[in-house]
Amino acid sequence: RDFNERCAQCSEVNWGLTDGGRFYCRSCHNVTERTREVVNTDFISNTRVQTISKVLRKQEKTDGGCEWYVCEGFQLVLKKQAEALEALGVCPQMKDEILCNFWRCYLQKSKQAYCNRPAGETVKALSVCDSSTDADSEPETPSLLHMLSASESEGDLQTDCSFASSTSKVSESTSLCSGSVDGSLYLMKNQKEKLRMTMPMTLSFCYMALLWLREPMTLSDLLRFVVEGHIPYLNVFQHFPEKMKLCGLDLKIFCVESWPAYEEVYNKMLELAAFLDLPRFPDITDSCFLHPDMLCIKYLMEANLPDELHNWTCRVVKKICIGEADFLTLVPGNKSTRKVKYDVLAAAVIVVVLKLLFLLDDHYEWLLSEFAEERNKNNKEGGPYFEFKKWYKVIKCSLDVEQKKLDEERAKYLWRCEKPLFYSAKKKSKVLKRRRMVVNLQNQFGKLSGSVQPAEKPNPSSFQLSWYEENTDGSCFHGHSLKGILQEKCGLLTAMNPDYWLCTVKLCTEKLCGHLAHYREVDFPQSYHFVLRLFSFLLRIEPSYIHDEVCVIEHKLFNKKLCKKPKYKTSLRK
């Protein structure tokens, strides 16, 4: 009541106290460096002295370990990931403003901070911890909330004091279960309605912040940077401070032994946006990198396809109205609008254009290649005609090499981290000793076998495959012409081929299926499968997801003919 200064962030005078005695604004949750002055020394100071002495005794027993909560661990993970993204060139605004506010909102919505904790939580914690009491367990020490702030000046969490004090009483009986105060409770209680935090959800937070800022980084790029080691995710707990003792059930929460899945991260991002009640995201316009017209340029360059194909992709995007801001912009919680995967959508548009021009039925594209080859032999002026057969051979050779390299890297990946892990304090010495023996044996056998040291991780790049027109071997097809497969009709260039085959006549409506169309390689031409495989490698997703998007685009493109002539099953006239 005696602190009447206005908040520097929102100019309100509505202060509360954190566990550490600092003032925070109840309106915008800004935390100041100002601490509460002690007035009644007879009452407050004695209690404070007892608390400090208790902390010191605990620190001596735990070798400097402190009490910490699971949400603090995830906050540190998000901070490391945001810093890595900033190092990759993302706007600095993402970490301190966008991601930090998203995280605060999540903590408040899930009732983990910035709120009065429900009374039932303390009872649950006590009951869980009492059932797992062990005489050899070690006590914990106060919270590390001030150490894990997303920004130095305004990132502290505000947890309920009564809950913190009650859990500190029973922390001695929980240390065997987990290093964190609420690790066992976090895994046991049902938090479906609260959207319980997981490691894949940290990437969902990052992608949501990137999408809000309309950064030129797709979800597939984000996950690829994670796999390449540019963004902390696997074994990220190695970066935890020494005072945060990680053991037992904490490993189930923070230890990851699988690559992040595109669908899981994307779906969790949608759930998060709806859970946080976020407003409509900033519009995705034709000048944004995430617009299909822009992404198609990137993927055409990476797939080594002719530049002239971009005119056709733009025509398809305009024809089916998938370039409109209302279609592309995310509106959280709106179930009537279809959620867009920008990278998959752009790849599917290119596949549809290739089917329009080359048919991809394992017959027509090879006839066009023979025709283009003959024209190139006699054509001495202008750019060469595009040969699908030659492009196929060049891409297949590079794709096989890169896919083999990727498979080998994944097979050789060591999931065990450099920092030894132990599930209880009793086994710590054994684990450390075993780890030292393993490292010594690996070094000795490495010297005897003359094994090559692992190569350094590659520099981050938006392109996985690069093609240069300066190459004299003719492996770059960017400047090649499509004249051999086009004809002028009513003032517009159209494909010489009037036919088109649909991937499916009817989209699947079963929610449990998870796919709009079923995809099996044996049911489709090899040329079509090869194109899907190429973009599947570039996006690091299963070909079936690109196939789904292709089917949706086809049904929008041929909607009128599908309604008029449902008897056609495998082919349509354009």
Q: Is residue 259 part of a domain?
A: yes
Q: Which residue has the higher pLDDT, 71 or 3?
A: 71
Encode 414-444: b = buried (16+ Cβ within 10 Å), e = exposed. Answer: eeeeeeebbbbbeeeeeeeeebeeeeeeeee
Do 278 and 389 share a domain, yes or no? no
Task: Quote the radius of gyration of the chain (alpha carbons, Å).
Answer: 29
Do 210 and 262 share a domain, yes or no? yes
Number of domains present in the structure of the chain: 3
Across residues 416-442, what is the average pLDDT? 72
Do 272 and 400 share a domain, yes or no? no
Q: Is residue 287 part of a domain?
A: no
Do 212 and 264 share a domain, yes or no? yes
User: Of 278, 305, 250, nearest to 70 (Cα)?
Assistant: 250
Q: How far is CA 35 from CA 2, 11, 24, 420, in A?
A: 12, 19, 10, 39
pLDDT at 404: 93
Q: Is the pLDDT of residue 24 over 50?
A: yes
Do 396 and 497 share a domain, yes or no? yes
pLDDT at 569: 43
pLDDT digits (tens, 9 = 90+) for 488-535: 777 778 888 888 898 888 887 766 566 778 888 888 999 999 999 999
Which of 201-205, 473-477, 568-572 is least confident? 568-572
Q: Which residue has the higher pLDDT, 13 or 342?
A: 342
Q: Is residue 13 part of a domain?
A: yes
Do 376 and 273 share a domain, yes or no? no
Secondary structure class of 43 (helix, strand, coil): coil
Q: Is the dihedral of CA 125, 126, 132, 135 positive or negative?
A: positive
* Percent residues over pLDDT 90 in the chain: 40
pLDDT at 573: 40
User: Of 344, 409, 95, nearest to 231 (Cα)?
Assistant: 95
pLDDT at 20: 66
pLDDT band at 183 (very low <50, low <70, confident <90, very high): confident
pLDDT at 46: 43
Q: Is residue 465 part of a domain?
A: no
Do 394 and 541 share a domain, yes or no? yes
Q: Is residue 533 part of a domain?
A: yes
Distance of CA 119 to the CA centre of its chain: 35
Secondary structure class of 220 (helix, strand, coil): helix
Do 27 and 85 share a domain, yes or no? no
Do 269 and 397 share a domain, yes or no? no
Q: Is residue 514 part of a domain?
A: yes
pLDDT at 158: 42
What is d(CA 416, CA 115) in angstroms, rounded to the nearest whole number?
38
Q: How far is CA 271 from CA 137, 258, 334, 532, in A?
A: 38, 22, 11, 29
pLDDT at 19: 67
pLDDT digits (tens, 9 = 90+) for 526-570: 999 999 999 999 999 999 999 999 999 999 998 766 665 444 444
Number of alpha carbons in the 13 Å side-chain half-sphere of residue 247: 22
What is d(CA 281, CA 444) in angstroms, rounded to the nearest whole number?
56
Domain containing 6 equals 1-36
pLDDT band at 466 (very low <50, low <70, confident <90, very high): confident
pLDDT at 175: 41
Q: Is residue 162 part of a domain?
A: no
Secondary structure class of 248 (helix, strand, coil): strand
Do 274 and 361 share a domain, yes or no? no
Number of alpha carbons in the 13 Å side-chain half-sphere of residue 174: 29
Contacts of 19 (CB under 8 A, 6+ apart): 142, 143, 145, 158, 159, 161, 164
Q: Which residue has the higher pLDDT, 38 or 111?
A: 111
Across residues 443-452, what is the average pLDDT? 70
Mean pLDDT of the chain: 78
Helix and strand tally (H, E) in the chain? 21, 7
Q: Is residue 134 part of a domain?
A: no
What is d(CA 323, CA 314) in angstroms, rounded to the nearest whole number?
9
H/E segment holding residue 221: helix 219-227
Q: Is the pLDDT of residue 99 over 70?
A: yes
pLDDT digits (tens, 9 = 90+) for 331-358: 998 887 888 999 999 999 999 999 999 9
Do 77 and 20 share a domain, yes or no? no
* Percent residues over pLDDT 70 in the chain: 73
Do 274 and 376 share a domain, yes or no? no
**Angle at the Cα of 271 from the Cα atoms of 246 and 76, rounded to 5 degrees:** 25
What is d(CA 343, CA 536) in angstroms, rounded to the nearest whole number?
11
Helix then strand then coil, in percent of the chain rounded to 5, is 50, 5, 45
